[in-house]
Amino acid sequence: MLSLLQLNRNIRSIRRYRQIIRVLFTYGFDQLLELLNLTHVVARSRRIFRRKESKITELSPAERMRLAMEELGPSFVKLGQLLSTRSDVIPKNFVTEFAKLQDNVPSFPFAQVREQVRLELGNDIEAFFSSFSTTPIAAASIAQVHRACLHTGAEVVVKVRRPGVVELVETDIDVLMGLAILAERHLPGSDIYDPVGMVREFARTIRREMDFPREGHTIEKFAGCFSGDPTMYFPKIFWETTGKGILTLEYIDGIKVSNLPALEEAGLDRRLIAHRGADAFLKMVLVHGFFHGDPHPGNVMILPENVICLLDYGMVGRLDEHLKGYLIDLLLAILKRDVDEVISLLISSGDVPDNLNAGALKRDLTEFIDNYYDLPLQEIEVGRMLQEFIDIVTTYHIKIQPNLMLLIKALVTIEGMGRELDPQFDMIGHLRPFMEQAIRERVSPLYLFKDFRDHVTSLFSLAQNLPRDIKEFLAKINRNRFKINLEHRGLDRFITELDKSINRLSSSLIIAALIVGSSIIMQTNKGPLLFGFPVFAFLGYMIAGLIGLWWVVAILRSGRL
C-alpha cells in the first residue's frame, strides 16, 4: 500500500513539475530553467508553449515572478510571503513585490465544508453547532472561516481547511526541494542563499500553519504568558469541536486597530492602545522569546477598555536565550554607535563569508550610524533602523537568522501602527526598560553563576568525548577507512554539454566514414547492383544522410546553431 501511495505522489510531482515549468516559461524565466540544467525542457517548451511577449517584456523580473507565484497557487503564494521577510537573501525589489502577494482565492462550496466537518469531527454539523453560516467571512489559500453558534449558545468562528490542500502542499514541497537541489548544483553562488535550507524552512512553516491544533495550543501558550494582564485578551479555543483540519475559536467582536474613526467614536484612547501594543509585543520578544509573526492591522482587534486582542496565530516567531542576547547586544551596539562592536557581533554569529571585506563594511556601517547620530532617541524608528542595517549587511552576504528577519518585519508593522495611533509614539522609550532589565540580569550573581556552570559543563563534556573521538579517528586511519568526501558544484552542466559535443563529434566521424566507404564501394562496381551502381554504396549514403538530417533537426530545435 505504501508503494502505491508513493507512486501516486511521484505521479503528482511529475505533473506539478510540468505545470511549474510551463508557468515559468510563460512568464519569461526560460533562462533560469537553462541555468538549472533543464535546457532540453526549455527547447521542448519553446515548441509547445507561446507567451505574449509584448505584455511580459513590459514587466520587471520581480513582477513576473510574483504573477507566476500567484498562478501556481497556495504553496507558492505562501513561499513568496515567507521570502518577503528575507531581505537578507533576495533582492529588495523582489521583497517589495512578494509583499504584495495576498491569499485572494475564491471560497470552496459549503457542501465541502460540511464534509470536512464530518470527516474531522465524526458527525454532521448539526450535532455540534446550532447554527452555521453557509457564507464564509474570510477565505484564504489554506482555509476559510465561517461564523457559527454552539449548542451552549457561545458564538464562535470555525476555521476549515481546504480539501486536498495538504496533498497539494506536500507535492509542492517535493518539487521545490528538487528545484532547490538543482539550484545548489548549477547556479553559481547559490551557497550564499542556501536554497535547500530555505525550502526546509518553508516546509516547516507551512506544515505548522496547516496544523490547526498546534495553532490552538499556540494561542493558549500566549494566553498563559499574559495571564493576569488585563490589557491583552486571547480568544478561547473550543477543543471539543477542533480537529486536525478544523479550529473553533471564540468570536471576537471588536474594532480593527486601523479603523481610527470607529475607535474615536467608541471613546477609546488611541495613545494608550499604541503604548499597550508596543509593551505587549516587546514583552513577547524580550521576555518570553515567543512572538506573533504577522501583527498587521487586520489581525489586531480593540475591545472595550482599550484591551488588545490578536488574531491568526499561524505564523509565530521564536527567539532562544542566545538569540535574544544577540539581539540585545546588537541594539545596544547600534544605539551606542559602536561600529567595532557591531562588526564583532556579526563575525561571532558565524554567518559571515570568508571573503568579507571588513574595511568596506565598517565604512558603510559608520555612515549608517552617522545618519542617526544627531537624531533624538524618541525620533528614531527602531524597525526602520534595523531594516536599513539588514540592507547593509546583506550586501556583504552576511546571513541573518530567519526568526530575526521575521521579528524585524513585525517590529516595523507594530511601530507603524503605533505612530498611526499616536504621532508622538516613541519605540525607544518602550524598549529602554526591557534592555535595562536584560543588562541587570546579565550582571546578577545568579546569571554569572549559570553562565560559568554552562561553560564548565561544556568543557567537561568535551574532555569526556575527546579521547573517544581521537580513538575512532585513529582506528579509521589504521583500517584504511578514513574518507574525505569532495563535492563538485557547477560541473554537471559542463559534463552534459561535453557529452553532447562528443556524441556529435562521434556521429560526424560515423557519417564521414560511411560517405568515404560508400564512395570506395561505388568505384569497385562489385556486389548487387541497382541502376548499375553497388547497392551497399546506396545504403551507406542513405544512412549517412538520415543521421545528418536527424542531427540538423536536433540542432535547430535546440535553438543553437
Each residue of 164-206: pLDDT tens digit? 888 888 888 888 888 888 777 777 666 666 788 888 888 888 8
Mean pLDDT of 264-286: 92
pLDDT band at 477; cut points 50, 70, 90:
confident
As a three-state string, the secondary structure of 447-511 is HHHHHHHHHHHHHHHHHHHHHHHHHHHHHHHHCCCCCCCCCCCCHHHHHHHHHHHHHHHHHHHHH
pLDDT at 275 over 70: yes
Rounded Cα gap, residues 393 and 345, in angstroms: 12
Assign 325 to helix, strand or coil: helix
What is the overall mean pLDDT for the chain?
80
Terminal-to-terminal C-alpha distance of the chain: 49
Strands of 307-310's sheet in order across: 232-233, 307-310, 300-303, 255-256
Count of all residues that appear for the chain in the document: 561
pLDDT for residue 66 is more than 60: yes
pLDDT grade, residue 224 (50/70/90)? very high
User: Would you kindly state where each structural domain of the chain is located, as residue ranges?
Assistant: 105-251, 256-443, 444-489, 491-558
pLDDT for 450 equals 75
**Which residues, 6+ apart, have CB-to-CB distance to 155 below 8 Å?**
147, 148, 149, 250, 251
Select which of 30, 88, 211, 294 is catalytic: 294
Q: Cell numbers at residue 4, please?
A: 502505491
172 is catalytic: no
pLDDT tens-place string over residues 335-349: 777 888 887 887 776
CA distance 1 to 179: 28
Share of the chain above pLDDT 70, in %: 82
Facing residues of 534 across strands? Answer: 529
Question: What nine digits make up the cell of 327?
Answer: 539581539
Name residues whose C-beta falls within 8 Å of residue 90's C-beta, 6 or more positions apart in sequence. 83, 98, 193
Q: Per-residue pLDDT for 235 more than 90?
A: yes
Tens digits of residue pLDDT in 71-112: 888 888 888 888 887 776 777 788 888 888 766 678 889 999
Query: What pLDDT score was predicted for residue 127?
Result: 94
CA distance 39 to 37: 6
Query: Hey, is 308 helix, strand or coil?
Result: strand
Chain segment 154-163, per-residue pLDDT in tens: 999 999 998 9
Where would I find the H helices in 27-73? 30-35, 39-48, 53-56, 61-72
What confidence tier does 533 reach under pLDDT thresholds 50, 70, 90? low
Residue 64 has pLDDT above 60, yes or no: yes
On the CB side of 307, CA atoms within 13 Å amount to 16
- The three-state secondary structure class of 261 is helix
Dist CA 135 CA 112 (whole Å): 12
Question: Of 17-26, 70-79, 222-231, 368-377, which range is least confident?
Answer: 368-377
What is d(CA 382, CA 409) in angstroms, rounded to the nearest whole number? 11
pLDDT score at 125: 93
Q: What is the pLDDT of residue 77?
A: 84
pLDDT at 39 over 70: no
Q: Would you say residue 463 has pLDDT above 90?
A: no
Whether residue 531 is predicted with pLDDT greater than 70 in this model: the reply is no
Give the pLDDT confidence score for residue 158 in this predicted structure.
95
Give the integer Cα–Cα distance in Å for 344 and 367. Answer: 17
Q: Which residues contact 111 (CB under 8 A, 6 or more apart)?
A: none
Taking the whole predicted model, whether its pTM rises above 0.75 is answered as no
List pLDDT tens digits, range 133-168: 999 998 888 889 999 999 999 999 999 998 988 888
Distance CA 238, CA 241 (A): 6
396 has a pLDDT exceeding 90: no
Burial code (b: 16+ CB inside 10 Å, e: under 16) for 177-210 equals bebbebbbbbbeebeebbbbebbeebbebbeebb
Indicate whether 238 pLDDT > 80.
yes
Identify residue 179 by its one-letter amino acid code.
Answer: L
The H-assigned helical ranges of 99-194 are 110-121, 165-186
Element (H, E) at 395: helix 382-395
Beta pairing, strands 533-534 & 290-292: unpaired
